[in-house]
Chain A
Amino acid sequence: MASGLKDIHKKIAADYQRIFSQDGQGQCEARISILRAVLDREGHFTVDELRELLEQAGVSYERDFLARTLESFVHYGLVWAVRASDRPVRYEHAHLERHHDHVICVRCGRIREIDAARPRRLAEIEQATGYRVLDGQVTVRGVCEQCLAGRPEVFPLSAGAPGEEVHVVRLELTGPERKRLIGMGLAERARIEIISRDGEAGGVIAIEQSRVAVGRTVLDRIFVQAGRAPQPAVSPRAVPLTELGVGRRGRIVRITGSGPIRHRLMEMGVTRGANVFVERVAPLGDPIEVTIKGYYLAIRKNEAAQIIVEP
Chain B
Amino acid sequence: MVLFDATQTRQTILRAVIAGNPNCGKTCLFNALTGANQKVGNYPGVTVERREGRVRSSEVAMTVVDLPGTYSLTALSADEVVARHTMLHERPAVVINVVDAANLERNLYLTVQLMEMEMPLVVALNMVDVAERHGMTIDVDRMAAVLGLPVVPTVGNRCRGIQDLLSRSHEVACHTTDGATRAVTYGHGVDDEVDALAAVVAADAKLSGRYPARWAAVKLLEKDEEIIRDMRVAAAHPAAVEAAAAVAIQAIESHYHEPSEVILAEARYGFVSGIIRECVTHGNVSRRSVTDAVDAVVCHRLLGPLVLAGVVYSLFVVVFKIADEWHWLFGRSPTQWMQTLFAWLAYQAGGLADTSPMLHSLLADGVIGGVGGIMAFVPLIFVMFALIAALEDTGYMARVAFVLDRALKVFGLQGKSIMAMIVSGGLGGGGCAVPGVLATRVLRDREDRLVTMLIAPLMNCGAKIPVYLMLIGAFFAERQAGMMFLLWLLSWVFALISAVVIRRFVVRGAQAPFVMELPTYHVPTLRGVLRHTWSRTWMFIRKAGTLILATSVLMWFAMYFPRADTADIDGRIASLQSQTADSDASAQADALQRERQSAQLRHSAAGRAGTALETVTRWAGMDWRDNIALIGGFAAKEVIVSTLGVAYAMADADSDEGGTLSAHLRSDPGWTPLRAFALMVFVMLYAPCVTVQIITRRESGSWKWPLFSMTYTIALALLMATLIYQVGGAFGWGV
A contacts, CB < 8 Å to B:
182-183, 185, 187, 189-190, 208, 232, 255, 258, 260-269, 271-274, 279-287, 289, 293-300, 302-303
Contact = CB atoms under 8 A, between A and B. Distances in A.
B405 A282 contact: yes
Interface in B98-140: 102-106, 109
A258 B305 CA distance: 34
Contact of B106 (A190, A289, A295): A295
A145 to B, nearest CB: 33
Contacts of A271: 262, 265-266, 269
Nearest to B303: A283
Minimum-distance CB pairs A-B, first 7: A284-B406, A293-B105, A296-B518, A267-B72, A286-B406, A300-B514, A261-B513
B254 interface: yes
A183 to B, nearest CB: 7
Given A280-B296, A295-B103, 5 more contacts: A268-B517, A281-B301, A283-B305, A293-B103, A295-B106
Contact of B405 (A182, A263, A300): A300
Contacts of A183: 247, 250-251
A266 B265 CA distance: 7
16 contacts: A232-B257, A258-B259, A260-B76, A263-B76, A265-B515, A266-B72, A271-B269, A274-B269, A284-B403, A287-B405, A287-B516, A289-B299, A295-B517, A295-B520, A296-B518, A298-B402
Interface of B: 71-72, 74, 76, 102-106, 109, 247, 250-251, 254-255, 257, 259, 261-262, 265-266, 269, 291, 295-296, 299-302, 304-305, 398, 401-407, 409, 415, 511-520
Given A260-B76, A272-B266, A289-B402, A267 B109 contact: yes
A286 B409 contact: yes
A228 B299 CA distance: 46
B104 A299 contact: no
B406 A287 contact: yes
A296 B261 CA distance: 25
Contacts of A280: 295-296, 299-300
Most chain B CB within a 10 A radius of its CB, from A232, A264, A280, A299? A264
A270 to B, nearest CB: 8
Contact of B406 (A266, A285, A294, A296): A285
B76 A269 contact: no
Contacts of B105: 269, 293-295
A267 B406 contact: no
B405 A185 contact: no
A269 B71 CA distance: 9
Nearest to B518: A296
B407 A264 contact: no
Given A189-B257, A273-B266, A282-B299, A296 B291 contact: yes
Contacts of A286: 405-406, 409
A185 B251 CA distance: 8
B406 A260 contact: no
Contacts of B402: 282, 287, 289, 298
Contacts of B265: 266-267, 271
A190 B398 CA distance: 46
Nearest to B307: A283
Contacts of B71: 267-268
B515 A268 contact: yes
Contact of B517 (A189, A284, A296): A296
B519 to A, nearest CB: 8
Contacts of B401: 298
Contacts of A281: 301
Contacts of A272: 266
A298 B397 CA distance: 13
Contacts of A279: 295
B255 A185 contact: no
A179 to B, nearest CB: 11
Contact of B518 (A283, A294, A297, A302): A297
A294 B517 CA distance: 11
A263 B667 CA distance: 65
Contact of A283 (B296, B299, B415): B299
The residue among A271, A280, A285, A294 with the most chain B CB atoms within 10 A of its own CB is A294
B250 A289 contact: no
A264 B513 contact: yes
Contacts of A285: 406
B221 to A, nearest CB: 15
